[in-house]
Structure 1
Amino acid sequence: MVSIITPVYNCELYLDECVRSVLSQSFVDWELILIDDCSTDSSKEIINKYNKQDSRIKKYFLDKNVGAGIARNKGIEIAENRFIAFLDSDDYWHKDKLKEQLNFMIKNSIEFSYSNFIELDSNDDANKIILPPLKVNSFSLTFNNYIKTLTVIYDTKRIGKVYMPDYRKRQDWGLWFNILKKTNFAYNFTQPLAYYRTSNASLSKNKFLLLRENFNFYRNFLKKNLVLSIIMMTSFLVVHSIYRFFFNKKV
């Protein structure tokens, strides 16, 4: 029923925990698609180990490094199940994540959902719960990417397979816009059942890079002119700062 897409690149330190969190799910009708993006550490061996251990775990080895977005697209292409979920190789889930979020979607006839999530600090301790809005549309998403990839599930039966744009940065944000062309809103399943490591989110740490990538996103993906892109980028900085400061609570 659910295809879980996990791109892997040199993540030997965390990949075991990531895969074990899927194996421990109380909802068992899933396939996990591990897409290795030319890792040079022991990630390939870990992938092979779990592929042999459980038939629901599938593997695909790319022949050149293409980045997480294109790797996820290969996973979406391979996926055979109705729902698509994403889990990056350095993150992990609570055992009831799939069961509870799928119940929420099916009960409420929702095509696209995300959720609150728990941030882990540099010591791998649960630091705070991030609280995105109860729902977002394309307009609200323009001013902040409220949706974290490891929390997303969408329904291919109702909206078809939707792919990430073909570039390395902000491709997840682009995917949400692509999905929202097919459905009016994305809805927040508010339980924080996903664990996100901030220590590896180098882009989020570097505000200059964040602004530069956002500017490129407005120009290249949303096709805005120079002046409007600058205005939107400035608005993003304000909204993002308010969101990061106020929309969270300590664990």
Structure 2
Amino acid sequence: MKLEPLVSIITPCYNSSDFVRATLNSVIVQDYKNWELIVVDDKSNDDTCKIVEEFTSRYRNIKLISLLKNEGVSNARNIGMLEARGKYIAFLDSDDVWMENKLSRQIAYMEEQLLTMTFCSYKRINEEGAVISRQIPVPFSVSYKNLLSHNMIIFSTSMTLRSAIGDLKFKKAGHEDWIFWLDLFKKSEGGHGINEPLVLYRIRSGSVSSNKLKAIGYTWKILRENEKIGVLRSMYLFSKYVVATVWKRLK
């Protein structure tokens, strides 16, 4: 019988008490069982740690790391990656929810096709957990060049071969997830999409993704400073980003 590869799930938390229980429960019910869950709390001042500790007391494969200082999601994810032991790393934000076959579907696809990274389609939910969109489709594959004009990868939908990540770290910047994929895809084959809604992606008021002005500023900064792209090409890519963002919100 073939041994199922270990998946390390990394969940950064900060004041997530309203949502983290549903997030962790969505891991517990996975039909794929060989996983470890590393929850990194970024100095929450609510009941997040207390809730997570309810799970760590019942499940040996769930670990809580409580940070003494709030340093942001990039730092929390980096610490989680240092603790990861799995062949694969899957990121799950503390307010999103997985369908019960999320891990099994991605593992089967990646093992069969020998893929470095996969992601999947999703549906949006609101703060109360109600579905507020239809399935958001994803492309069959995404390269570095594709990703420059628009980040179509929701972080909680991703799974990546740990050896492909290597010593790559998250940078402290707006749109740190997008920068991470750009940096990864520069040295890998890119990612492959699964057009099945295996994740519920929560839209929260006040989140970075809902702050359009910040998102615009971050996007321009990534193109010009992180990727060192010239002004004219940056303007072209930026216009594609705006169109893609508007189109996505209409779905």
Question: What's the TM-score, normalizing by structure 1?
Answer: 0.91
Deviation per CA, 1:173-203: give whole Å up to 9, x if none: 1111122123222100221111111124633
Cα distance, 1:213 vs. partner? 1.0
Per the alignment, residue 166 of structure 2 pairs with 161
1:95 to 88, 100, 120: 100
Is 1:113 aligned with 2:103? no
Per the alignment, residue 202 of structure 2 pairs with 197
Per the alignment, residue 7 of structure 1 pairs with 12
Secondary structure (helix, strand or coil) at the match of 1:116 reads: strand
- After superposition, the CA RMSD in angstroms is 1.7
> What is the distance in 2 between the residues matched to 1:231 and 1:162?
32
Q: 1:243 to 1:90 in 2, by over 3 A?
A: closer
Per the alignment, residue 144 of structure 1 pairs with 150
Cα distance, 1:141 vs. partner? 0.5
Per the alignment, residue 137 of structure 2 pairs with 131
Deviation per CA, 1:78-114: give whole Å up to 9, x if none: 1011100000000111111101111011111111000
Is 1:236 aligned with 2:241? yes
Q: Tell which deviates more after alignment, 198-207 or 24-33.
A: 198-207
Secondary structure (helix, strand or coil) at the match of 1:192 reads: strand
Per the alignment, residue 82 of structure 1 pairs with 87
Q: Is the 8 A contact 2:175 2:215 kept in 1?
A: no
Which aligned runs of 4 or more in structure 1 are off by greater than 6 angstroms? none
Q: Tell which deviates more after alignment, 58-67 or 121-130.
A: 121-130
Count of matched residue positions in the alignment of Structure 1 and Structure 2: 245
Is 1:43 aligned with 2:48? yes
State the percentage of identical aligned residues: 28
The one-letter amino acid of 2:140's match is L
The one-letter amino acid of 2:143's match is N
> What is the distance in 1 between the residues matched to 2:25 and 2:166?
26
Q: Is the 8 A contact 1:116 1:188 kept in 2?
A: yes
Q: Is the 8 A contact 2:116 2:189 kept in 1?
A: no
The runs of 5 or more residues in structure 1 that have no matched partner are none
2:189 to 184, 190, 203: 184
Per the alignment, residue 57 of structure 1 pairs with 62
Secondary structure (helix, strand or coil) at the match of 1:16 reads: helix
Q: 1:152 to 1:41 in 2, by over 3 A?
A: same
Secondary structure (helix, strand or coil) at the match of 1:126 reads: coil
> What is the distance in 2 between the residues matched to 1:55 and 1:75?
17
The runs of 5 or more residues in structure 2 that have no matched partner are 1-5
Secondary structure (helix, strand or coil) at the match of 1:191 reads: strand
